[in-house]
Structures are given as structure tokens and as C-alpha cells.
């Protein structure tokens, strides 16, 4: 990739990935409100907001992070499977995106229940959104650490490519 | 020991993170196969989701 394009893709990847982290942090705040607020209106609003946040922000930026990461790695010397840190970031991104896509269905059901005027506080409360968002935050912080520190370690494929190029 | 041997050796952090990654995958697969799928963990102190809603959400499994 030419340097200007590489910088543009890197900027898009960092923006999407950091945005994903921020959106998950916002989800944790909403999940905490849904779990702890004594006000039924706040709990209903939190579930509806989590559903909207999932489809309008989390899903698009998670896919954007994955796609820009693929382009960035395949278009630079880092490669996709040459360095362990890149490989683990790919793993984290794929797992987090897959779980998020599955969990949006649960968020939709929770939002439907929250929108039902007959639902009670006891029916709405549950730790599931907080547990999932917390696990997602840990994974994304791990990916951020890998990106910044880029710990050493070349895969067997990377070693063979380096030997062939030498 | 040569630099080539050092490069070929898998770093300790890779082994640790690799084991954690395998455990995570096993946990996710076990959770999915034990019925912890979309709409199956809605809290509410044991209150079930409406059957039609759960059936609709579980359509992706079929």
C-alpha cells in the first residue's frame, strides 16, 4: 500500500477500534443503570438505548474495525498471520464481533420487553448485558494493548516468509 | 544460541494468551450448546420471554 493510503486506512482502523471501545463503555453505563436504578422508566430507557446503540453504533464500528484491520494487515509488512500479536488481534476482533451479532438479538428482545407497559422492574432486571459488555471491554482493552506494545513473536509462516525473502 | 533459534522459539506471552484464547473458545462453544444463545439469558428472575419472541429470535439456528 502507498504511504498516504496506508495512513488513511490506519486512521480509519484506529478510529473504529477506539470508537468501539467507547461505545462498549457507554453500554456498560446503560447496563449498570438497568441493573441498579429503582426507577422503572430509567430501566426501560436503558434497555431501549442499549438496543439502539447495538444496531446503530456497535455493529457498524465492529465490522469497520474488522475490515480496516484486515486491509491494514494484508497491505503492510505486518501481514495477517506473520506476527502473533496481529493474529491474536484478529482472533479478538472476530470473536467479539460474532458474540456482538448474536447478542443484538437478545438486546432486541430485552428492548421489546422494556417497551411493554405491563413489564415490571423484576422482569426487566438482569446482569446479562453488564456481563457481556464487561467481557467485551476486557477483550477490546487487550486488543488495544497488543496494538500499542506489539510484543515480539513471529509465527512459523512469518519465519518462512522472512527466510524466503532473505 | 543463535538469533535464528531465538526467533523460532514461541514467546511465553504467546503460550499464555493462546491458552486463554482456547479456553475462551471452549467456553463460548459450551455456552452455545448448553442453550445460552440469543434470548436465552434474559434475566428477570426466571421469567421467560414470550414463546413467540424466543422462537423468532432463535430462527437463525434453524
A117 to chain B, minimum CA–CA distance in Å?
14
Could you report the predicted ipTM of this complex, rounded to two decimals? 0.77
- State how far the Cα of A133 lies from the Cα of B35, in Å rounded to an integer: 20
- State how far the Cα of A115 lies from the Cα of A163, in Å rounded to an integer: 61
Cβ pair A109:B49 closer than 8 A: yes
- State how far the Cα of B48 lies from the Cα of A27, in Å rounded to an integer: 24
CA-nearest of A47, A37, A42, A27 to A114 is A47
Q: Using one digit for the tens of pLDDT, what is the confidence trace for A43-69?
A: 999 999 999 999 999 999 999 999 999
pLDDT, tens digit only, all 166 positions of chain A: 888 999 999 999 999 999 999 999 999 999 999 999 999 999 999 999 999 999 999 999 999 999 999 999 999 989 999 999 999 999 999 999 999 999 999 999 999 999 999 999 999 999 999 999 999 999 999 999 999 999 999 999 999 988 888 7
HEC assignment per residue over A49-116: HHHHHHHHHHHHHHHHHHHHHHHHHHCCCCCCCCEHHHHHHHHHHHHHHHHHHHHHHHHHHHHHHHHC
Contact A34, A43 (CB under 8 A): yes
- On chain A, the residues whose CB falls within 8 A of the CB of B24 are 95
Cβ pair B14:A153 closer than 8 A: yes
Q: Using one digit for the tens of pLDDT, what is the confidence trace for B26-46?
A: 999 998 888 776 655 555 433
Amino acid at each position: 500500500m502507498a504511504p498516504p493510503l496506508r495512513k488513511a486506512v490506519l486512521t480509519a482502523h484506529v478510529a473504529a477500534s477506539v470508537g468501539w471501545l467507547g461505545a462498549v463503555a457507554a453500554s456498560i453505563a446503560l447496563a449498570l443503570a438497568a441493573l441498579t436504578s429503582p426507577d422503572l422508566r430509567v430501566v426501560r430507557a436503558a434497555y431501549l438505548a442499549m438496543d439502539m446503540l447495538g444496531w446503530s453504533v456497535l455493529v457498524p464500528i465492529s465490522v469497520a474495525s474488522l475490515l480496516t484491520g484486515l486491509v491494514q494487515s494484508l497491505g503492510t509488512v505486518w501481514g495477517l498471520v506473520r506476527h502473533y500479536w496481529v493474529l491474536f488481534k484478529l482472533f479478538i476482533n472476530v470473536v467479539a464481533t460474532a458474540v456482538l451479532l448474536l447478542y443484538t438479538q437478545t438486546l432486541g428482545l430485552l428492548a421489546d420487553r422494556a417497551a411493554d407497559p405491563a413489564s415490571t422492574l423484576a422482569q426487566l432486571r438482569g446482569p446479562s448485558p453488564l456481563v457481556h459488555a464487561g467481557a467485551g471491554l476486557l477483550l477490546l482493552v487487550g486488543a488495544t494493548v497488543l496494538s500499542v506494545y506489539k510484543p515480539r513473536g513471529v509465527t512459523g509462516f512469518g519465519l518462512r516468509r522472512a527466510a524466503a525473502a532473505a | 544460541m543463535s538469533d535464528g533459534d531465538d526467533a523460532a522459539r514461541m514467546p511465553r506471552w504467546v503460550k499464555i494468551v493462546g491458552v486463554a484464547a482456547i479456553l475462551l473458545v471452549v467456553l463460548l462453544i459450551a455456552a452455545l450448546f448448553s442453550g445460552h444463545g440469543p434470548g436465552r439469558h434474559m434475566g428477570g428472575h426466571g421469567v421467560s420471554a414470550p414463546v413467540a419472541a424466543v422462537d423468532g429470535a432463535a430462527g437463525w439456528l434453524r
